[in-house]
Amino acid sequence: MRHEVVIVGGGTAGITVAARLRRAGVTDVAVVEPSEHHYCQPLWTLVGGGLADAASTVRPEARVLPVGVTWIRDRAVQVHPDARTVDLDDGRRLSYEHLVVAPGLRLDFDGVPGLAEAVGHDGVSSNYRFDLAPRTWEFIRQVRGGTAVFTMPPGPIKCAGAPQKIAYLAADWWRRQGALDRMRVILVLPTAAMFSQPDWGEVLKGVAAGYGIEVRHDTHLVEVDGPARRAVLLDTKGGTKEDIDFEVLHAVPPQSAPDWVKASPLAGATAALAPGGTLLVVGDDRANLTSGVGGPQDAAVLYTPEQIVAGLDGLRVDRADTVRRPVPADGRTAEALDTVVVAVRP
């Protein structure tokens, strides 16, 4: 089977790219997606906050795929960029002219000891899964006093705002129930700032203070004892650990690329580049933390042109810049900073 464009993953990214390509006149686009269902994940925050039904976040995949796109209902298991092929779980092999890889991030609940066992009961939940978001709301709704902990992991995650939004929705609910005074609400962030964009960070600082939320910076969840309802937090600056007894814990799991992507030539693009081939790297620039808007807040997952170039042994670097990209922000135009590197294998 051969297609001009193969897109691995029919989630938000995959279907959006497929729609743009179809609109641009590309006729042969195939999407590899095993799931019959498409989920609007941003709505899961509202499900956890009691403001939306889980059922309203699901659509049949067939209904969201753009007209004219071929749906291959299987899972990609390996990519061979040199041969321009993708292996599917059922043993079939697809050929492509162009490949888009969009299988989303893997949720690693096992990355925090005790978390995988605890989620879904003992007051522990996470809006990051369709089946768990309604449990978040159950736990929040039932509590009338005690400690509630909301955590964000270090490293890249989808939606840097989601770990905070559920804390504010919960605090607002408890305030409306007259229970907020009996609650101790702790928001645990791995970062030194509230948010990557300083002026939004200032606003969020005010929102948290308005609900009396204690914010722990440079701190993350390292262990959960579900039956004992105890969370262990690590302050990475001081190197100290703290045990906290909770009534409710909303934990966002660590996230990373799926294992098959990590183990594929995609993770070693430099080595896989054929003579005459061009490597294009576009990513959020580390300078975005201080002078740009949006993007991840963790310096460990941001780039500098110099850092990318240092990993391009044997390639000729034609371009290595920090590029300003205009983006709309609150009715005005702000700038996001991207690292752009173009290199060629001689």
Here the tokens at position 82 are 């040199």
Bin 146: left if φ > 0, else alpha if -120 < ψ < 50, else beta: left
CA angle at residue 211 from 208 to 216, to 5 degrees? 40
The answer to whether 259 and 106 have CB atoms below 8 angstroms apart is: yes
The answer to whether 325 and 333 have CB atoms below 8 angstroms apart is: no
Q: Where are the alpha helices (DSSP H) in the chain?
A: 12-23, 43-48, 61-64, 115-118, 133-142, 162-176, 198-210, 259-262, 269-272, 288-291, 305-310
CA angle at residue 152 from 338 to 243, to 5 degrees? 145
Identified binder of ligand FAD from the candidate list 2, 4, 35, 311, rule CB under 6 A: 35
**Residue 139 interacts with ligand FAD (CB under 6 A): yes or no:** no
Name the segment binding ligand FAD (CB under 6 A); options: 37-45, 51-59, 92-100, 219-227: 37-45
The answer to whether 61 and 72 have CB atoms below 8 angstroms apart is: no
Binding mask 71-110 for ligand FAD (x = CB under 6 A): ----xx-------------------------xxx------
**Residue 50 interacts with ligand FAD (CB under 6 A): yes or no:** no
Name the segment binding ligand FAD (CB under 6 A); options: 4-12, 212-220, 272-280, 285-293: 4-12
Identified binder of ligand FAD from the candidate list 19, 34, 216, 345, rule CB under 6 A: 34
Bin 167: left if φ > 0, else alpha if -120 < ψ < 50, else beta: alpha
**Residue 111 interacts with ligand FAD (CB under 6 A): yes or no:** no
Name the segment binding ligand FAD (CB under 6 A); options: 2-10, 92-100, 108-116, 207-215: 2-10
- CB of residue 256 to ligand FAD, shortest distance in Å: 13
Cβ closer to ligand FAD: 33 or 285?
33
Cβ closer to ligand FAD: 150 or 305?
150
Instruction: Kindly list the residues in this chain that would bind ligand FAD in the complex (CB under 6 A).
Output: 8-14, 32-35, 41-42, 44-45, 75-76, 102-104, 127-128, 158-159, 161-162, 258
